[in-house]
Structure 1
Amino acid sequence: MLTRVGVPVEFEGEHSAPEPGPATLLCFSHLRWDFVFQRPQHIMSRFARDMDVIYWEEPVDIASGETAFLQVREAKNAPGVRVVVPHLPQGMPDDAREATLSRLLDAHVASLRGPLITWYYTPMMLPFSRHLDADVVVFDAMDELSKFKFAPVHLLELEQELIDKADVVFTGGSSLYEAKKDRHDNIHCFPSSVDRAHFAKARARQFDPADQEDLPRPRLGFYGVIDERFDTELLAKAAEMRPNWSFVMVGPVVKIAEEDLPRRPNIHYLGGKTYDQLPAYLSGWDVALMPFAMNESTQFISPTKTPEYLAGGKPVVSTPIKDVVRHYSHLQGVGIASTAEEFVAACDHALELSKNPEGGWLAEADLMLSATSWDTTQARMAGLIHDLLGIRTGSTSPAMLVAAE
């Protein structure tokens, strides 16, 4: 146990105070770094190539009699990213929690030098951090969190405060951009992108993971968080209509009771996997699925899975998510279906496509994918932030931040 500015801090492994650098990016996120590798991880790991990145997670409860502290560790899969997890005594009143978080935060950033960028994925972390004197404030709205199950009561109020405070706002898809474009004068749409090289591994023959290798074909798979956005009824009906198909569900189950998951001999729940493992699972599928429910929680989503599945060389069948229809429905390799009957019919068609990747549908998808990458997305974001830093500091030196060129 170490102490910095009178605040207990617990470190996993050795870590020294960061050297005075050109800039520090302090990211406040509702998603834990090690949960699912998605937009925050892709973007922050790329920013970390050129600056120190602090990834501040939601608090973890400890016994009521213990002293609050920060657990700090280096992200194993992203050099330069420091993951910070507050540990707070359970049962603290809200005002005491916010005051403690503010004290822990101030102690942690006290030694930082150079420009500070604060980056928010959730407005719920604004109450204990709004006092920070950041050179640039970023709100990256990757989802419409107010539409999610168990959304906090004050989320919308805090979101408006964050939008008013932010120097720049990014959105994770076109639908979100349209919903927020009139609420800020410096807002930019950055839809979900793809690490093509990573998922292209699925196009080469891979060793089937042990929990998948004995599943009969054809295999139709999904990976991602299985939560209120997932259409369990659609999955159950499709599995009933095609008992000879194997439906492979890869990912953690969140906010859905185990007893509410459809259970059939041909539905296989394989649990959560690491980002590095996904291409091996994807390689063993014939068709990739996006059976999202059409409800409030999916109204503004822009799934990263669409380009990832296509990069892996698999045809895709999705429910009519607005951003998927808008950007991908014109592709031969992407089927859109609303009902279970339509979904199964689209899967039948996709299975035929999967037998003939040289038939033109994959080349068409590759042409579209060639225009998008997380590297490009992050570089464009960095360029916008670089411009703002130049305005705030009176300098446009590219040494302050990686340039967007």
Structure 2
Amino acid sequence: MPVLLVFSHQRWGDVPERPQQLMTRLAGRWQVVFIEEPRFADGPALLEVRSLDPALTVLTPHTPVRAEGFHDDQLDAVQPLLRAHLAARGLVADVAWLCTPLAVPLAQALHAPCLVYDCADGLAALRGDPALLQQREAALLQMAALVLTAGPSLFDAHRHLHTNIHCVRSAVDAARFSPASLSLHGPQARRGHALQGDLPHPRVGFFGVIDERLDLDLVAALADRQPGWAIVLVGPVVGIAAEQLPQRPNIRWLGAQPDELLPYLLAGWELALMPYAVNESTRFLSPAKALEYMAGYQPIVSTPIRDVQALYTPAVAIAPPQPEAFARACEGVLTENARARSERLIEMARFVARHSWADAADAVHDLLNEALVGVREARLDDELSALQVGADADPLPRDTRAAAHG
């Protein structure tokens, strides 16, 4: 199997999103080595190795360097760890898949001949110095053999910057979220009931990373306007202090929960929310959770995120990012008549049927193979050209030639 190195700013154990979904399905056709950002630890640098599958390994460097992410200061500590790991297992990198441009120096240090940029987030959504991110992205776009985007807005923004760019949209594992596939009396059902079974109906909820991209004022205003509703928020809180989270009697913060529990929590709601702020950090957002909500047959209200509007209307109700207007939209969806609900469910089913992670992984597999073959052919052409130049050159001075033929 060819070796695919993945440099991800998302950790494998985070809420499973695009990197985890694709790499799980590519493993077996590729030897996937998933490299997380370093963690700080006192003492000598070491590499945590987790073998999730014979063809899927997760590597987490632990270093005494305090710089966050794939910072240049981490290079001297991380590079020897990764090289030693690959050498010990006889692995030679074929493709480096970069989820963040900051990993460019590390990918170069490991001599992967084929670079792939998976542009799933705008730079504003990534941590790090904005100027350096822009510089590294420009360099990566020059070096990459293949560029992928997760949504049409990112594709439109980058299509003029690369000749081999493709929009491979984020997708869904429909069976996992379908209510028909849930075990009503299993441990996950019991756990879900323990977490939210005491809440009144209607229940409206959100799952995913809770960070600066969410408009928490909308959540607080909805809770104030509808004190009889239960509002459930599930996911790790990142970059937000606890005191900034709105606290209301009818808001329940469940924190990070196992991925396998999410469908059971979703099944207990009447409405799913995507209350994103409309600003630079969400300009290129293309949330996969829209399809996950749809696969669970939950109606959705979202703020006007560009990709959500472009991809998922009329299945998703779009609400202005003002508290009163957003609350009214939620009320309208919850009280829509049977015909409107049926039409919405039909649209949701169509979207889910067209976008599976299995199909997305198949498309990525083909694109990776094409890119790798292209890189190898280009290298061979360069080597042949160099040999031809050497053959055409006159390697011996005239006097030496005469002596040689004397």
State the SS of the aligned residue for 2:124: helix
Query: Residue 196 in 1 paired to residue 174 in 2?
Result: yes
Aligned-pair distance for 1:173?
Answer: 0.8
Query: Residue 234 in 1 paired to residue 218 in 2?
Result: yes
Question: Residue 368 of structure 1 aligns with which residue?
Answer: 351
Alignment-mate amino acid for residue 371 of structure 1: R
Partners of 2:171 and 2:291 within 8 A in 1: yes
Partners of 1:68 and 1:88 within 8 A in 2: yes
Unaligned runs of 5+ in 2: 378-406
Question: Residue 11 of structure 2 aligns with which residue?
Answer: 32
Question: Residue 80 of structure 2 aligns with which residue?
Answer: 103
1:277-292 paired onto structure 2 within 5 Å:
277-292=261-276
Change (3 A) 1:92 1:286: closer
State the SS of the aligned residue for 1:157: helix
> For residues 211 and 236 of structure 1, what CA distance do their matches in structure 2 show?
21
Aligned-pair distance for 1:369?
Answer: 1.9
Aligned-pair distance for 1:109?
Answer: 2.1
Higher helix share: 2
1:2-401 paired onto structure 2 within 5 Å:
22-63=1-42, 66-75=43-52, 80-90=55-65, 97-110=74-87, 111-113=89-91, 116-148=94-126, 151=129, 153-201=131-179, 206=184, 207=189, 208-331=192-315, 333-353=316-336, 359-393=342-376
Change (3 A) 1:270 1:84: same
> For residues 243 and 153 of structure 1, what CA distance do their matches in structure 2 show?
45
> For residues 354 and 109 of structure 1, what CA distance do their matches in structure 2 show?
59
> For residues 228 and 30 of structure 1, what CA distance do their matches in structure 2 show?
17
Partners of 2:208 and 2:236 within 8 A in 1: yes
Q: Which has the larger Rg? A: 2
Change (3 A) 1:329 1:360: closer
Partners of 1:199 and 1:311 within 8 A in 2: yes
State the SS of the aligned residue for 2:160: helix
Aligned-pair distance for 1:202?
Answer: 6.8
State the SS of the aligned residue for 1:128: helix
Partners of 1:202 and 1:283 within 8 A in 2: no
Aligned-pair distance for 1:71?
Answer: 1.1
> For residues 95 and 369 of structure 1, what CA distance do their matches in structure 2 show?
41
Aligned-pair distance for 1:49?
Answer: 2.8
Count of equivalent residues: 369
Q: Aligned-residue CA RMSD in angstroms?
A: 2.4
Deviations 1:354-388 (A, max 9, x none): 97797232122112221111111111111111122
Partners of 2:124 and 2:280 within 8 A in 1: no
> For residues 335 and 203 of structure 1, what CA distance do their matches in structure 2 show?
29
Deviations 1:108-163 (A, max 9, x none): 22243566111000111122231333242111011013345655551111111111
> For residues 162 and 98 of structure 1, what CA distance do their matches in structure 2 show?
17
Change (3 A) 1:202 1:233: farther
% identical equivalent positions: 39
Q: TM-score with structure 2 length normalisation?
A: 0.85
Aligned-pair distance for 1:50?
Answer: 1.9
